[in-house]
Structure 1
Amino acid sequence: MRVQMLGLCRYSYLGLRGYQVEHDSIAARRAYLYDPARLERRWHWFTTVALPGWLAQTDPDYTLVVMTGPDLPEPWLGRLRALCDRVPQLRLSLVPPMDYHLQACRAAVAPHVDPDADVIGHFRHDDDDAVAVDYVQAARRDFALIAGLWQAEGKLSLDYGRGLMVEARDGQLKITPRICHNMGVALTIFLRPDAAETALHYNHTKLGQWMPGVQINGPLMFIRSIHGDSDSGDMGPGLPWQPEEGQMNRLLRTRFGLRRGDLAALARSLT
């Protein structure tokens, strides 16, 4: 069974809906999203935290659509173009503001759906979060074990619940290990190729309303970042877990391709 892994990363996309931080007009939204200081901070989160894991995937057969507006200011639009030209798995999609956010997400993703695939593994990814280097490989492998659930309805969620909450506040870095349910990162929604939906069409906190779901709580599979520019600024519900003594730096390096010192420097730069 051919599974296409297809993700969407909204990168400062100029839309009025689909986010927890709301604005009353396109002009207000544009001023907020395109503030140069904010855009520079988002670029550093994207390149420092999100990119290393994607560039090091043990299964490179995936597509991550980076969705932004055609009027994203320079130099950030040029940086995105250069990055997507260099990395074949990244596809830049320039979508103008649309009346309905989910239509915009579908417009970004639809051209990249493989019609020859049997199943599309849709996922969403925020530009300041990270997935482990084997996320794509694990999702394909574990879907094969539960494909019968998907075949019954053509919809199935697969959630990796073990992660790290990385908080950057007042120049300080804090890392909290958490097991969470359907956090949104490292969460795959398996749909048929002709489905009109993407991962964004389903509220990740309410997936049980629409489809069966399976959660796997090991190994460590995601990082969720929390900072002043976050759309949602709290950790949400979850359970604690504790790495072995002295293993945090190794986990960051081997699971995500990150160095703790780089994360600490990023946190300090936000003061």
Structure 2
Amino acid sequence: MRVQVLGLCRFSLLSTNSFQTTGFDLTENRRILYDPARMDLRMRWFENLCLPPLLWQSDPDFTLIIATGEDLPQPWLGRLQDLAAAVPQIRLEQVAPGPHGKVCSELLAKHTEPGADIVAQFRIDDDDTVASDYVDTVRRDYHRFGPGLGRDAVFAVDYARGLTLTQQGDQHELRCELARLWGCGLTMYFPNDRPRSIMNYRHDWLWRLADVISIQNRIMWVRGVHGTNDSPRDRYRPVLVDMPQDRIDAALGKRFGLDRRLLTDLLAGKGPCPE
């Protein structure tokens, strides 16, 4: 049985709706999204936090769509194009503005393998990441849970334990949290003969619409928190896990391959950043 693992990352994707910090005015949305200071911050998080653990996956058999606007300015577009050329799993898509859910669903459908039996979809923001065994875990978890739910079931696995990295100026706080149905810790499984999209489901309402299995026995994601987040963090009420800082730092290295001091220096603009 073929389980395709297919992810979507929206990188300053210009759309006509759905974001909470922008509205329906494309000129204003473009001004907000393409502001050079914002773009520099987002690219630093993408290149230094989001992308490396994806490149280091123990199972490299996955596809990641990077969706961005058709008029994304330079040098940001050039840097995404260089990454797409160097990383075989990346599919860079520049799309015209349109309804957010429709645009994203069409991209996921475009990159769905016709021969896959099951499509495991995930969504990730450009300032979040997943553990380096995420793809392998997604496939194993389908075989753990899928047969019991039935061949035609649409269901989700919510990896509820992760790390939150908060940036305020040059200061960073890394903590371990439990969070229910955050986008970065969520995978949906679809039979390929019933094409749907993870973007058809509001992630925090997913428990109302599909079977959800919650797993919180190991750290599976890092979520970035800073001044340009679209979603208000407190809405989802994460629960702090009491863990010594040295264990949290060690988990960042073991689960994601990242060194905390180097990472936070890069995010604060203290290290080299490709031009």
TM-score, with structure 2 as normaliser: 0.92
Superposed CA deviations along residues 226-251 of structure 1, whole A, max 9, x for unmatched, are 10011124253132223456222221
Q: 4+ runs of 1 displaced by more than 4 Å?
A: none
Secondary structure in structure 2 of the residue aligned to 1:164: strand
Contact 2:44 2:267 in 1 (8 A): no
Counterparts of 1:252 and 1:90, CA distance in 2: 24
Counterparts of 2:148 and 2:224, CA distance in 1: 32
In structure 2, the CA distance between the partners of 1:26 and 1:214, relative to structure 1 (3 Å rule), is: same
**Alignment pair present for 1:227 and 2:226:** yes
Hey, what does 1:136 align to over in structure 2?
135
**Alignment pair present for 1:90 and 2:90:** yes
**Alignment pair present for 1:72 and 2:72:** yes
Superposed CA deviations along residues 115-135 of structure 1, whole A, max 9, x for unmatched, are 111100011010000100001
Contact 1:168 1:174 in 2 (8 A): yes
Secondary structure in structure 2 of the residue aligned to 1:23: coil
Superposed CA deviations along residues 192-248 of structure 1, whole A, max 9, x for unmatched, are 224443212111111122210101102110011110011124253132223456222
Superposed CA deviations along residues 155-204 of structure 1, whole A, max 9, x for unmatched, are 00011111011110132111121011111113101012244432121111
Paired AA for residue 73 in structure 1: P
Counterparts of 1:12 and 1:266, CA distance in 2: 20
Hey, what does 1:118 align to over in structure 2?
117
Spell out the pairing of 1:89-238 with structure 2 (5 A cutoff): 89-98=89-98, 100-151=99-150, 153-235=152-234, 236-238=236-238
Paired AA for residue 178 in structure 1: E
Counterparts of 1:201 and 1:245, CA distance in 2: 38
In structure 2, the CA distance between the partners of 1:170 and 1:75, relative to structure 1 (3 Å rule), is: closer
Which runs of 5 or more structure 1 residues have no equivalent in the other structure?
none
Question: Post-superposition shift, 1:150?
Answer: 4.4
Larger CA deviation: 258-267 vs 19-28: 258-267
Query: Structure 1 vs Structure 2: percent identity of aligned residues?
Result: 37
Between Structure 1 and Structure 2, how many residues are aligned?
A: 269
Counterparts of 1:209 and 1:200, CA distance in 2: 15
Hey, what does 1:54 align to over in structure 2?
54
Contact 1:119 1:192 in 2 (8 A): yes
TM-score, with structure 1 as normaliser: 0.94
Paired AA for residue 238 in structure 2: G
Question: Post-superposition shift, 1:16?
Answer: 2.3
Counterparts of 1:40 and 1:238, CA distance in 2: 28
Larger CA deviation: 18-27 vs 85-94: 18-27
Give the superposed CA RMSD: 1.7
Larger CA deviation: 185-194 vs 156-165: 185-194
Superposed CA deviations along residues 99-151 of structure 1, whole A, max 9, x for unmatched, are x2111102222221011111000110100001000011011111111013542
Contact 1:68 1:94 in 2 (8 A): yes
Paired AA for residue 6 in structure 1: L
